[in-house]
Amino acid sequence: MSPSTPTDDEDMAYRVAALPLEYGETRINQLFTRGYNRYVVDGEDQPEDLVNDVERFGTAAFKEQVRVDAAEEPFVDEPGTLAVLATLSAICVKENPKFEHASPRNIQVLYDIRELYVNNLASLMHAHGDGSLQQDIADVLYSKEPGEDGPHPGRVCTGITEMPEFGDGLYLEIPMAAASRKCLVREDESSTGNDDGGEILTRVKDNNLYVPVGDFDSKYRDYAERAFKKLLRVQEDGLSDDQLSWLTTNESAITERIDRFLETGHHERIWRNWDRGERTIRVLRRALSDAPDDVAQKGEFHTAKELYRAVTAYDAEDEWESSVTDWISSPSSLAKTLADHESHSAVTIDRDGRVNTYRIGRAGTGAEQIEVREIEDLFELPCMANMEERLHEKKPVRKDLYNFARMVMWLPQYQDSSLDEIVADLKDVFSRWPWYDEQETEYQVRYEFSNTIDGDTPLPMNCDNDDLQRYCIGQDQCPYSIWGSLPFPDEMYEQVEEESAGPAEQF
């Protein structure tokens, strides 16, 4: 009997997909063959299906919720397919001309694809088999370096079992003779506030260690990150130039999404470690917005110490934010960064006093805020309400259309959406007006979206725009202002500051 291969044996496919660092290129290529076989129907290749799935996988990886959900419910239901889709998506990203000179280590999108792969694989494995795969993996994850006595002769993990006496959940059973410090799981430092190692959660019984299975999951995640790199390398080595150019020519969705993020200023979604000064200032803004008024405020002058206090109190939301807050280690390091980025339009340093003070961003506008859940909410602005009323009677002029489109494209909930989704939602709004023609509106909206200014998304109109004057109820009458009342992201205001020579308080 010939030995089973990942191409034709599911268990073997799981083993190679889960532990690629333990296998050679031949086995990994057999795993890919299994994945590609899914796109062969009656002996015929189905390249379009493959590209569609690669695009679906690659674009889904941008969405944090999809990545998170994949850890519970597989996004792709088969290890070979998963390996193929994840590696081909990553290759599409690496081949994007925008990344021509970039190191893969700086491309956030690749990390997102890897995360989707790792989470997906973890949930697939949970659902697969009787736990023997997990035991094989545990043997790899918890094996110790060979010592003077040679390798441990038996299995490292002798079982995965419930141990009610130690609490709920599963435990990995590891004989003391096979134990190493890898098996000592500690309570999370962040939950104990203790930085010299939390309490040991690993338990002992009958000369075995019992390691909480949660540790297996996090160790496996680390392993899988390295494993993905190997899969990617084997896939890259295996693709011919023709295959590669066929793939990149036919794929467009992933490229389009990356381009859009770049156009809309979502640097953090594309780049890891993008401009340090810019990142610091963004985090400072968010920290100041979060800080109680009596601690620090945006647009006020503060000492470095006060700003530092606001940063340390700030609960970072993203990985890039945490890296910034970790990196600001003291008031003096913060002061130094701000001095280094004094030319940034959002930073003003006052050196007249006894100690330097720093102002970040702009003063509040006092405008009433509008919560925008759907596009219709924009009609809460009196000018937009006037426009809505007028459009029932007259066809729009082009300024009206692009005013609308630009406002929408800057709304936070549309920043991650595909153009198709935005167009669909806008058509839904426009269909209320009598002159509505589906084809025409679609064309016009798409035209506005393709109309960038040197690659930057055009700013939404503000209240001082002449074309808006015909709908305006008078700025002194109005409790709102377009730029002050709508929940535009910081990126938009940064663009305002970059483009505007005037004082930041203009609105």
Partner 1 sequence: MTWRQATREEIYAYYAEEFPRYLDDLPEFITATGPKQYAVAFRESHPVRKDEVPDKDFIRRDTWQTDASGDRTTPEFDDLEDVVEFIRHPARNDPLGRSKFALADPEVLEQPDPRPDAVYYALDHWERPWVLLVDIDAKEIARDRADEMVSTDLDDRGDDALLDAAGILDAAPEGYPYAFEDIDRAIEYGFEVRDIFEDDFDAEETMVVYSGQGVHVYLLDTDPAHRYDEQSREVLNDLLLETYDIPIDPVVTADRRRVARLPYSLHADVCSIVQPIESPAFDVRSATPEVIDE
Q: Between residues 186 and 341, which has the closer beta carbon with respect to partner 1? A: 186
Q: Between residues 130 and 145, which has the closer beta carbon with respect to partner 1? A: 145
Contact criterion met (CB below 8 Å) for 284 and 362: no
Smallest gap from residue 171 Cβ to partner 1 (A): 15
Rounded to whole angstroms, the Cα distance separating 377 from 387 reads: 13
Q: Between residues 120 and 202, which has the closer beta carbon with respect to partner 1? A: 202
Q: Between residues 187 and 498, which has the closer beta carbon with respect to partner 1? A: 187
Give the phi and the psi of residue 265 in degrees, each rounded to 5: 75, 20
Smallest gap from residue 166 Cβ to partner 1 (A): 12
Q: Between residues 189 and 376, which has the closer beta carbon with respect to partner 1? A: 189
Smallest gap from residue 186 Cβ to partner 1 (A): 9
Q: What is the DSSP letter of 46?
A: -
**What is the secondary structure of 151-194 as a DSSP string?**
S-SS-S--EEEE-GGG-SSEEEEEEGGG--GGG--B--HHHHT-
Point out which residues bind partner 1 (CB under 8 A): 144-145, 147-149, 152-154, 175-181, 183-184, 199-200, 202, 204-207, 209
Q: Between residues 200 and 313, which has the closer beta carbon with respect to partner 1? A: 200
Look at the block and give the residue holding tokens 């410090």: 181
Q: Between residues 144 and 276, which has the closer beta carbon with respect to partner 1? A: 144
Give the phi and the psi of residue 123 in degrees, each rounded to 5: -70, -35
Q: Between residues 201 and 258, which has the closer beta carbon with respect to partner 1? A: 201
E strand or H helix at 496: helix 490-499
Smallest gap from residue 296 Cβ to partner 1 (A): 35
Rounded to whole angstroms, the Cα distance separating 117 from 35 reads: 14
Smallest gap from residue 57 Cβ to partner 1 (A): 40
Contact criterion met (CB below 8 Å) for 270 and 106: no
Give the phi and the psi of residue 301 in degrees, each rounded to 5: -85, 135
Q: Kindly tell me the sign of the dihedral angle through the C-alpha atoms of 264, 270, 273, 274.
A: negative
Smallest gap from residue 165 Cβ to partner 1 (A): 12
Smallest gap from residue 190 Cβ to partner 1 (A): 19
Q: Encoding tokens for residue 357?
A: 């003070």
Smallest gap from residue 287 Cβ to partner 1 (A): 34
Q: Encoding tokens for residue 161?
A: 């079992």
Q: Between residues 100 and 145, which has the closer beta carbon with respect to partner 1? A: 145
Smallest gap from residue 206 Cβ to partner 1 (A): 6
Rounded to whole angstroms, the Cα distance separating 324 from 316 reads: 9
Rounded to whole angstroms, the Cα distance separating 30 from 6 reads: 6
Rounded to whole angstroms, the Cα distance separating 428 from 425 reads: 5
Q: Encoding tokens for residue 242?
A: 């023709």
SS3 456: strand
278 Cβ contact partners less than 8 Å away, ≥ 6 residues apart: 267, 344, 494
